[in-house]
Amino acid sequence: MIVLNLRCSNGHGFEGWFGSSDAFEAQRAEGQINCPVCASADIRRLPSAPYVQTGAPSPKGGDTPARIDDTAARAVAGLRQLAQKAEDVGKAFPAEVRRIHQGDAPDRSIRGQASIEEVAELLDEGIGVLPIPVPKEDLH
């Protein structure tokens, strides 16, 4: 497993974990890698400094995978709870979030549908939105 520093065409930096450099290139060529901020598929790899261990190796913890699984499960449960409590405005999401941002509608948690282009426009306007795919069965 390798960790790569990545950047989208909009300048958002993030890291990705891949089985190999070839795996990264294959996924990038197929458009399978998207920016977590704006969902752009125009991704490039940044130069990375090699990791140099400067101290004693960390002791191997036998429960590390269990902790990771528990943390992931709690994160998914939290996202499900947020989605269930938010008002579903459907395809009116971009317009409604703009109304809330401008003070023309009551401030509240909403969820709905927006295209990648609409999300990018909202972010460009300074409106904080976060695309999170949530399976429909989790919303009822």
Say yes or no to pLDDT of 137 above 70. no
State pLDDT tens for residues 113-136: 999 899 999 999 999 888 887 666
Residue 53 pLDDT grade (very low, low, confident, very high; cuts 50, 70, 90): low
Give me the amino acid identity at 66: A
Residue 14, in any domain of the structure: yes
Query: How many secondary structure helices (H) and strands (E) does the chain include?
Result: 4, 5
Note the pTM of the prediction, 2 decimals. 0.48
Strand partners, 112: 90
State pLDDT tens for residues 54-89: 666 666 655 566 777 788 888 888 888 888 899 999
pLDDT value, residue 21: 85
| 40 and 88 both lie in a single domain | no
pLDDT value, residue 90: 93
| 89 and 41 both lie in a single domain | no
Residue 54, in any domain of the structure: no
Domain of 40, in residue numbers: 2-45
Residue 51, in any domain of the structure: no
Tokens at 37, concatenated: 């901020």
- DSSP letter string over 105-119? S----EEE---HHHH
| CA 65/CA 90 separation, integer angstroms | 37
Residue 88, in any domain of the structure: yes
User: How would you label 69-78 residue by residue, b for 16+ Cβ within 10 Å and e otherwise?
Assistant: eeeeeeeeee
| 87 and 135 both lie in a single domain | yes
Residue 76, in any domain of the structure: no
Residue 71 in contact with residue 63, Cβ under 8 Å?
A: no
State pLDDT tens for residues 17-48: 888 889 999 999 999 999 999 989 999 998 76
Domain count, the chain: 2
Higher-pLDDT residue of 32 and 140 is 32
Say yes or no to pLDDT of 94 above 90. yes
Phi, psi of 67 (to 5 degrees): -65, -40
Higher-pLDDT residue of 133 and 111 is 111
Strand partners, 6: 14, 45
Residue 60, in any domain of the structure: no
Residue 62, in any domain of the structure: no
Residue 56, in any domain of the structure: no
